[in-house]
Amino acid sequence: MRLAVIGAGAVGRSVVELAGEYGHEVVAVADSSSAVVADGGGTASTGVDPDAVVARKAERGIVGDDDPDDALAADYDVLVEATPTTLDDAEPGFSHVTRALERDRHAVLANKGPVAERFGDLRAAVADSDGEIRFEATVGGAIPAVSTVEDIEPGHVTAVRGVLNGTANFILTRMAAEGLDYDHVLAEAQDLGVAEADPSFDVDGTDAALKCVILANVLSFGAADDPADAREFTLADADVEGIRDVPGSALRLAAEDGRTVRLIGEATGDTVRVAPRLVPENGTLAVSGTQNIVQIETSHAGRLNISGRGAGGPETASAVLGDVGRLE
């Protein structure tokens, strides 16, 4: 498949670098101010040069001399939406996707915004298009959460819960392991690049909540006999509490009882909740460091647990490219 990669952050760059290994070629790349579009022209290899694009971005801060709109207008099969997550109207990501669908192309999202905040609008755009959307990369990085729920069939899934944010999990793991307070461990996480300079998206639970909202939409619309009746979720529907107020003493107290604290998100077809919770210290949900885990409760097959790397350029890119493969 020919890919137009919109967004040249860690995920976008990894998709550009790995696409060839999955048998796909990148025909266009855009960041917020520039683009590079391969000119085709009948040669065997019509894609962009991945290494050159990534190097140019590193050295000059741009991907090419074209305009971002040239990438959106290019001749591609699948648009990869990897621009930063935005809330509410989820722009510009939402319009990147609808433009692809209006051209009867497919879109694969790593950007959570459109899927969490405008799921109904996306479905409407897909209904009017020959193209499809997929969004495995929006939940759980390398963990195949969305496709596993789809295969079990949402009507047979009663709940999905888990540790869905590696930054918050790393902080809690370190607080427990070292007996340190939140502020101290946050500084360590920022030094390591595990937490951002402004960490609120992660530590306030917003990132985990968006992922749970996406899962709730998948369950809700997937289980509905008539999608017109399905409840649509947005971030506003989520009950969210982050980890800023978890004191070191809470973790010490928990440890005395063989427990620890993890930021757990849960989605059903009716509710979305994110909050710190006590879990058994050696139990399944107590994944360590930046690991994620998704726990799927099913009607006929008991509970499935899937753990792995929840974030990272190559990890998320592998989820994107897995989705492209499913579109073929």
Detail the residues annotated as belonging to a binding site.
7-12, 112, 196
Query: What secondary structure, in 3-state letters, does the chain show?
Result: CEEEEECCCHHHHHHHHHHHHHCCEEEEEECCCCEEECCCCCCCCCCCCHHHHHHHHHHHCCCCCECHHHHHCCCCCEEEECCCCCCCCCCCHHHHHHHHHHCCCEEEECCHHHHHHCHHHHHHHHHCCCCCEECHHHCCCCCCHHHHHHHHCHHHEEEEEEECCHHHHHHHHHHHHHCCCHHHHHHHHHHCCCCCCCCHHHHCCHHHHHHHHHHHHHHHHHHCCCHHHCCCCCHHHCEECCCCCCCHHHHHHHHHCCEEEEEEEEECCCCEEEEEEEEECCCCCCCCCCEEEEEEEECCCCEEEEEEECCCHHHHHHHHHHHHHHHC
Report if residue 258 touches a second copy, rule: CB under 8 A.
Answer: no
Q: Annotated catalytic residue: which of 13, 24, 105, 211?
A: 211
Q: Between 28 and 149, whose beta carbon lies closer to a second copy?
A: 149
List the one residue from 5, 18, 122, 163 that touches a second copy (CB under 8 A). 18
Cβ proximity to a second copy, 216 vs 319, nearer residue = 319
Residue 57 bears catalytic tag:
no
Please tell me whether residue 224 binds a second copy under the rule CB under 8 A. Answer: no
255 binds a second copy (CB under 8 A): no
CB of 322 to a second copy, least distance (A): 5
- Minimum distance of a second copy from residue 267's CB (angstroms): 19
279 forms part of the interface with a second copy (CB under 8 A) = no
Q: How far is the CB of 110 from a second copy (least distance, A)?
A: 14
| Residue 120 sits in the site that holds a second copy (CB under 8 A) | no
318 binds a second copy (CB under 8 A): yes
Q: How many residues bind a second copy (CB under 8 A)?
A: 35
Q: Which residues bind a second copy (CB under 8 A)?
A: 18, 21-22, 141-144, 147-148, 151-153, 156, 282, 284, 298-309, 314-315, 317-319, 322, 325-326
